[in-house]
Structure 1
Amino acid sequence: MVFVLIGVLCVVLRLGGWVQFHQDDLWAWVIVLSPFALAAAWWAWADASGLTQRKAMQSMDERKAARREQQMEALGQFRPGKKKR
């Protein structure tokens, strides 16, 4: 997400005429658009390595644990500050 934000900022600065990244117009656009290529490479790596799936599973496990704790509290069977007997 950071690469996308940097890319959008570079495009806005380039199109607004506030910053000149390079003398040659082709290289200027290569510099401006490179964060988008880096973002695509990062997302491809994250999906291929399983990082995205691991984070999704961890988030789901945390939600399940919180929901179970809330249900146990509602039943009066579990209080976070007390030990179970």
Structure 2
Amino acid sequence: MWMIIVVALLTLLKYLEFGPFANLSWWWIVGLAFFAFLWFEFFERMLGLDKRKDHMHFEKMKKERVKRSFDKGKPRR
């Protein structure tokens, strides 16, 4: 996600010709955007990072559901 933010920020700074970014070549921005595309489309899947995030999310939901069900079953005093 941070790569997309950097690409957007660099694009904005280049477009507004802010400071040293005015002389920055558009090829650097396009290259970084292409690398971000490759990362999210291929490398992240190859390394299994996309599935790991999904599994962590579902494990968290499962733990919360179990906790809620046990909290409902407790008698109140």
- 1:20 is aligned to 22
When the two structures are superposed, what TM-score results if normalisation uses the length of structure 1?
A: 0.72
Match of 1:9 in 2: 9
Highest Rg: 1 or 2? 1
In the TM superposition, 1:22-41 aligns within 5 A as 22=24, 28-41=25-38
Q: Which residue of 2 aligns with 1:82?
A: none
Gaps (5+ residues) in structure 2?
none
State the alpha-carbon separation in 2 of the partners of residues 38 and 20 from structure 1: 22
Aligned-pair distance for 1:45?
A: 0.7
Number of residues of Structure 1 aligned to a counterpart in Structure 2: 72
Q: Is 1:48 the equivalent of 2:54?
A: no
Report the secondary structure of 2:23's partner residue: coil
Which structure has more helix as a fraction of its residues? 2
What percent of counterpart residues are identical?
A: 17
RMSD after superposition:
1.7
